[in-house]
Amino acid sequence: MYTHSRRQMGATLSDSGVGFTRVIGQGRGFAAPQLALMFALGWLLLIFLPGPFSALPLFLKKLIRVGISVCLLAGVSMLLNWQPLWIILTPFGLTRNQIGFHLLASAVCIWWISSFWIFFSRPTQLREVTRYE
């Protein structure tokens, strides 16, 4: 039925993975510009959400909030994969092999919780202010 060998399929997947990591910014090279870009894009969307994006429908607002959380998660994961960070933290006894996995796993768990919170939350309703006379 299928004529592809495992080696050919593995080569195809690894080639597509290399292209994907180049686009995301995890490829070889200096990761600090992509790191700063992810954090800046997340904060910029967060600033625009109550202002220019306030007239958007609820579903689009939720998508923007998920986009913000994805940008911040990508920034955190890039920060945790950034080699100079671990060079700075090594004298304090914090190594990537010991602490890095736990920090990344906790960041992903926080991201999952925030994504569920965003998708299943109800919109806030403004309350009327009544005056007691």
CA atoms within 13 A on the CB side of 133: 0
Averages of pLDDT over runs of 10 residues in the chain (133 residues) are: 47 40 48 82 88 87 91 90 88 87 93 91 69 67
Q: Domain limits of the chain?
A: 1-29, 31-120
pTM of the model: 0.65
pLDDT at 83: 87
CA distance 18 to 42: 25
| Alpha helices (H) in 1-133, listed in sequence order | 6-24, 32-48, 58-80, 83-89, 101-120
pLDDT at 126: 58
| Tokens, residue 13 | 């997947």
pLDDT at 11: 44
CA distance 43 to 57: 21
| Tokens, residue 11 | 């080569």
